[in-house]
Amino acid sequence: MPCPNCKAHHPDFFFHYQGNVICRQCLSVATLEPVSVTLPKEHLEDACLSFELTPKQKEVSKALKESSSRHIMLEAVCGAGKTECVLEFIIDRLNKKQKVGWAIPRRQVVLELCERLQKVIPQCTVIAVCEGYTQVLSADLVLFTTHQAFRYPQSFDVLILDEVDAFPYRGNALLEHLISQTYKRQCVMMSATIPYDLKKRMSMENWTHITCYERPTRHPLMVPQLIRTFRIMMFLKMIQLLPSEAKWLIFVPTHSMAKWISLLLRCDSLTSKSKEKESIIQRFISKDKALLVCTTILERGVTFKNVHVIVLMAHHHVFSEASLTQIAGRVGRSIEYPKGKVFFISSQDSEEVNACIQNINNANIIAYGA
């Protein structure tokens, strides 16, 4: 019989202890004391943004604030400014003395977003809770990886769940259960690539659905250029595409490939196994011209100015439709550099690649009618 909490059913996950069957996945969760989250001491002013929200963003922000439904799905294309849209909603709820948490599946995104939020809401204490950052657990606004949700059962009134379709949250029954236990009133789910099963649940349970297909740059999303070539020619094709200008992110499917290609190109590589992730990213940001070979670790939640993207072996099973859409969305995010280049280099025909290109074209048609 599967575990009622995490739905685990494999015998490896269970053992007998004093006449009871214990689920190992849930064990560490059940034995910890919940953390109590604080509220801001003073009334919060508007977010200190260095730019004004676009009319579309204001519309989304207003819709979020006014919505009282338990589940809200915010579907917005990559770089549409989801974070900025949610800020007013967060401030509004905090001012109403409701506790707010922000869950994100990726650690890297948690750390980056924490810095950004601390700057735009200076009156409010913002902390990141993730691997390596678990000393302070309570603040006015807590950003945490979905793996840390076990610390906050029923701790928040409102939960923002960013990147709902991202690994490792997606498809993990335990994490989904833990997240569902953290909030009492509302949950705002956000993503640019909502999976089919969630869309189905959304229509069945009548969730509020808010969309934003327009980027603040008013430029359409960059449509990836697909390059089909022989397997052995892929690397040479990539070299040919890399001019000496600007920054390039090279996405590869595996850790070992990232290591080898970074050695060949004499540049940094970033994978989940990299030890100094923050410093590698800082080095990449600080340079005008740079190459960074990475795995899907950088596919979402990160913003680089004037960056172009190459996906090597785009047909590889690691690159799903959502993943490729997110990767393409890294380009043209800043107002100064609203355009960029996206290349998918592939040796095989791939449904995921075709679906990604189709999706981006559709989003552009909805937003700009062209």
Partner 1 sequence: MYTKHQQRQHHCLWCLTPLDTHDFSFMIRHDYLCEDHQGVLITPIKSTMITNVKVHYFHEYTPQIASLLFRYKEHYDIPLAGCIFLPVIKSLKKWINHRPILIVPSSLKKTQQRGFIPLKRALSVCGLECIEALEKEGTQDQKKKSKHYRQTTQFRLNSNSDALCKSIVLIDDVCTTGHSLLTCAKLLESFGYHVECCVFAIHSSWINKYLV
Catalog residues that contact partner 1 under the rule CB under 8 A.
Answer: 10, 12-13, 15, 17-18, 22, 24-25, 27-28, 31
Minimum distance of partner 1 from residue 22's CB (angstroms): 8
- Name the token pair of 267: 């540049």
Residue number, 13 or 260, with CB nearest to partner 1: 13
Residue number, 15 or 362, with CB nearest to partner 1: 15
User: In degrees rounded to 5, what are phi and psi of residue 76?
Assistant: -140, 145
User: In degrees rounded to 5, what are phi and psi of residue 53?
Assistant: -70, 145
CB-count burial class (<10 Å; 0-12, 13-18, 19+) for 237:
middle
CA proximity to 224, closest of 358, 150, 328: 328
Residue number, 28 or 68, with CB nearest to partner 1: 28
Minimum distance of partner 1 from residue 150's CB (angstroms): 12
Minimum distance of partner 1 from residue 155's CB (angstroms): 21
CA proximity to 304, closest of 250, 267, 242, 350: 250
Residue number, 12 or 288, with CB nearest to partner 1: 12
Minimum distance of partner 1 from residue 28's CB (angstroms): 6
Minimum distance of partner 1 from residue 72's CB (angstroms): 33
CB 121 within 8 A of CB 44: yes
- Name the token pair of 106: 């990726």
Minimum distance of partner 1 from residue 11's CB (angstroms): 9
Minimum distance of partner 1 from residue 153's CB (angstroms): 17
Residue number, 1 or 370, with CB nearest to partner 1: 1
Residue number, 147 or 308, with CB nearest to partner 1: 147
CB 210 within 8 A of CB 74: yes
Chain centre to alpha carbon of residue 74: 13
Chain centre to alpha carbon of residue 260: 27
Residue number, 253 or 329, with CB nearest to partner 1: 253
Residue number, 12 or 336, with CB nearest to partner 1: 12
> Which DSSP category does 30 fall into?
H
Helical pair 107-120 and 82-95, crossing angle rounded to 10 deg = 60
Cβ partners under 8 Å of residue 37, min gap 6? 99, 101, 138, 139, 140, 142, 152, 155, 156
Residue number, 5 or 98, with CB nearest to partner 1: 5
Q: What is the three-state SS of 91-126?
A: HHHHHCCCCEEEEECCHHHHHHHHHHHHHHCCCCCE
- Name the token pair of 165: 């379709």
- Secondary structure of residue 288 in the 3-state scheme: coil
CA proximity to 117, closest of 155, 86, 147, 95: 86
Minimum distance of partner 1 from residue 13's CB (angstroms): 7
Minimum distance of partner 1 from residue 244's CB (angstroms): 38
